[in-house]
Amino acid sequence: MAVSIKADILRAIRESTDYVSGQELCDRYGVSRTAVWKVIKQLQAEGYDIEAVNNRGYMLLSYPDTLSGSELMSRMKTKWAGTKVYFRKETESTNEDAKYLAEEGMDHGSLVVADAQTAGKGRRGRGWESPAGEGIFMSLILRPDFSPNRASMLTLLMAVSVAEVLSNLYQDLKVNIKWPNDVLINEKKVCGILTEMSAEPDFIHHVVTGVGINVNQSSFPEGIADIATSIKLELGERVDRAQIIVGVMEFFEYYFDIFRQRLDVSDFVHIYDSYLINRGREVRVLDPKGEYEGKAEGINDKGELIVRLPDGSVSCVASGEVSVRGIYGYV
- DSSP secondary structure of 148-172: GGGTTHHHHHHHHHHHHHHHHH-TT
Q: What is the mean pLDDT of residues 27-47?
A: 95
Query: Does residue 71 carry a pLDDT above 80?
Result: yes
Per-residue pLDDT, 130: 64
At the second CATH level, the architecture of 3-62 is Orthogonal Bundle (1.10)
Lowest mean pLDDT among 78-82, 90-94, 242-246, 285-289: 285-289
Q: What is the mean pLDDT of residues 237-247?
A: 96
Residues facing 140 on adjacent strands: 111, 209
Per-position b or e across 165-178, b if 16+ CB within 10 A of its CB: bbbebbeebebbbb
CATH number of 278-324: 2.30.30.100
Contact 174, 166 (CB under 8 A): no
Q: What residues contact 100, with CB distance under 8 A and at least 6 apart? A: none
Amino acid at 255: Y
- Condensed to tens digits (0 to 9), the pLDDT of residues 144-201 reads 999 999 999 999 999 999 999 999 999 999 999 999 889 999 999 999 999 999 999 9
Instruction: Write down the mean pLDDT value for the chain.
Output: 92
- Class of the domain covering 69-274: alpha beta
- Condensed to tens digits (0 to 9), the pLDDT of residues 260-316 reads 999 999 999 999 999 999 999 999 888 888 889 999 999 999 999 999 999 999 999
Question: Do the domains spanning 3-62 and 278-324 agree at the CATH topology level?
Answer: no
Domain-by-domain residue ranges, the chain? 3-62, 69-274, 278-324
